[in-house]
Amino acid sequence: MNKILNVAPILLVKDVVASANYFRDKLGFSYDQFWGEPSDFCMVRRDGQTVMLSQAPAKAKLLPHWQIVSQMWNVYFWVEDVDTLYAEYQQSGAKIDYQLGFKPYGIKEFGVQDLDGHDIAFGQIMKVKK
């Protein structure tokens, strides 16, 4: 039986090089190369997870999901230790758009924004007390 092995969200960005560098410098991702001349595509990776960044046309209006549906993410990552990651992103100067906290759906999470306002959330499933 065939199975899906992974998923890679794609974000449209105004400047693929600046965006890739933000993911590297502020969010701890890495990348190996850019595609296109001039560069218009890059895959950033961290801990086996990939986000694809694609250059939008210069006059395109980029609209993050939260501007359409209140408090909606563009990308959501499940993590093992959300407290440590939150501290890392505070230290790196990432743009934290909502603070670390417990959500009614049993997740401790926080969110950051990239250079184009896309909301990227990081959450850890917490044990529900009975």
- What is the Rg, in whole angstroms, of the alpha carbon atoms belonging to the chain? 16
pLDDT score recorded for residue 1: 83
CA–CA separation, 5 and 46 (whole Å): 16
pLDDT at 130: 54
Contact between 13 and 56 under an 8 Å Cβ cutoff? The reply is yes
Please report the pLDDT score of residue 78 as a whole number: 95
User: How many whole angstroms separate alpha carbon 94 and alpha carbon 110?
Assistant: 12
Amino acid (1-letter code) at residue 22: Y
Tokens of 85: 């990651």
Which segments of the chain have a pLDDT < 70? Answer: 128-130
CATH superfamily of 10-56+64-125: 2,3-Dihydroxybiphenyl 1,2-Dioxygenase, domain 1 (3.10.180.10)
- pLDDT the model gives residue 129: 57
Question: What pLDDT does 128 receive?
Answer: 62
Can you give the pLDDT at residue 5? 84
Percentage of residues in the chain with pLDDT exceeding 70? 98
Cβ proximity of 65 and 73 under 8 Å = yes
pLDDT of residue 102: 94
Identify the three-state secondary structure at position 109.
strand
Say how many C-beta atoms besides its own lie within 10 A of residue 92's C-beta: 12
